[in-house]
Amino acid sequence: MNASQTQSKKLRQAGIVRRVIFVLVAVAVIVPYILKPNLPGEPNHWAEEVYKRVDTLKPGSHMMLAFNFEPSSGAELYPMVRVVLMHCFKKGVVPVLMTHYTNALNLMKQVVAESATQAKKKWGKDVQPGKDYVILGYRPGDEMLIVNMGENLKGAFDKDLDNRLTQNMPALKGVNSLRDLDLAMDFASSGTTQMWIAYGSDKFGFPLVAGTTAVQAPDLYIYLPPSGQLKGFLGGLRGAADYETLLCRSDNVAVEGPANKGMPSQSAVHVMLVLLILGANVRMIYGKFAGKRKV
């Protein structure tokens, strides 16, 4: 067999191995939905900090939710927003939603509708727009918008997404700027959390927590205490699952929710990937020794 035939054979083998791995990943994700294993898991410290911050808010407090992701990151962040909104409705906290992304608007309405339905079903809370929550919507400007909201929130958003005037809105009573917020949370799929830290919480002095995709998570650890620029943070689907666990425990019910449903699949794929990486490394090291012995 000449060199080009050997190369072609290796490429074909690599193609087959690649496809086998894809099938293994698919099986590792799908099988837990059929078997439904009950895997133990403890929420991490930073998820508990976010939960405590929301849980200690008094009824009538205002919490801004910056909805900064698009449907492409919805798999990780939608369950997170859903459970935080449910917690807000349970505690009587008024969530104030806004976004820097045009593609997020309908997703915002969808998650609020779903959380409101769950809040009514679980705790009998009947939430009304304009009174118990407000969706401010989208304005362009990124950092400029945050500075604008920090100085005059109702000037930045004179109407909400449904064209109601914000000036005398019951949901925004007592909130004229970001300084008047009791808590803010940025749900981010890109670098908006750093923007909110720099132009928001550091400048106007309100407490900020974050919920981000897992890809963003490593960049945010430096802002957690002792730095204190972020008071807590939820990382990826695991963060959403931790929050769901804490909320269900507070109600003394079995842990449930879309994020927790995904955790057995997450664990299965991670175990499979670790085994594959270890196996590949063992094979590589064995191949090196075998090659040396031949020489």
Task: Count Cα neighbours of 178 within 13 Å in the Cβ-side half-sphere.
Answer: 27
**Least separation in angstroms between CB 259 and other proteins:** 9
Residue from 95, 33, 103 nearest 64 by CA: 95
Work out how close the CB of 182 gets to other proteins at its nearest, in angstroms, rounded to a whole number.
22
Residue 30: alpha-carbon gap to chain centroid? 22
Please identify which residue in the block is written with the tokens 């992304």.
101
Nearer to other proteins, 228 or 287 (CB): 228
61: its two tokens: 């407090």
Q: Residue 42, Cα to own-chain centre: how many angstroms?
A: 18
**What is d(CA 224, CA 146) in angstroms, rounded to the nearest whole number?**
21
SS3 52: helix
Compare residues 127 and 230 and give the one whose CB is closer to other proteins: 230
Q: How far is the CB of 66 from other proteins (least distance, A)?
A: 16
Q: How far is the CB of 110 from other proteins (least distance, A)?
A: 12
The tokens describing 55, both together, are 């849980």
Enter the tokens of residue 242.
């931790």
Q: How far is the CB of 227 from other proteins (least distance, A)?
A: 4
Between residues 125 and 203, which has the closer beta carbon with respect to other proteins? 203
**Minimal distance in Å, beta carbon 11 to other proteins?**
5
Cα–Cα distance for residue pair 253/114, rounded to 1 Å? 20
Phi first, then psi: give them for residue 157, nearest 5 degrees: -125, 90
Residue (of 279, 268, 260) closest to 25 by Cα position: 268
> For other proteins, which is the closer residue by CB, 42 or 58?
42
Q: Kindly tell me which of 43 and 137 has the beta carbon lying closer to other proteins.
A: 137
**Smallest gap from residue 69 Cβ to other proteins (A):** 12
d(CA 268, CA 245): 19
Q: Please give the structure tokens belonging to residue 119.
A: 């809040």
The residue (of 74 and 130) whose beta carbon lies closer to other proteins is 74
What kind and span of H or E run contains 64?
strand 62-68
E strands of the chain, at which residues?
Answer: 62-68, 94-99, 134-138, 183-188, 208-212, 233-235
Which is closer to other proteins, CB of 92 or CB of 273?
Answer: 273
Residue 106 to residue 192: CA distance in whole angstroms: 20
CA distance 176 to 233: 26
In the complex, what is the shortest distance from the CB of residue 295 to other proteins, in angstroms, rounded to a whole number?
28
- Of the pair 170, 228, the CB lying nearest other proteins is at 228
Interaction site with other proteins (CB under 8 A): 8, 11-12, 15-16, 19, 22, 25, 29-30, 33, 70, 73-76, 78, 102-103, 105, 137-140, 143-144, 147, 159, 194, 197-199, 202-203, 213-215, 217-218, 222, 226-227, 229, 235-238, 258, 261-262, 265-266, 269-270, 273
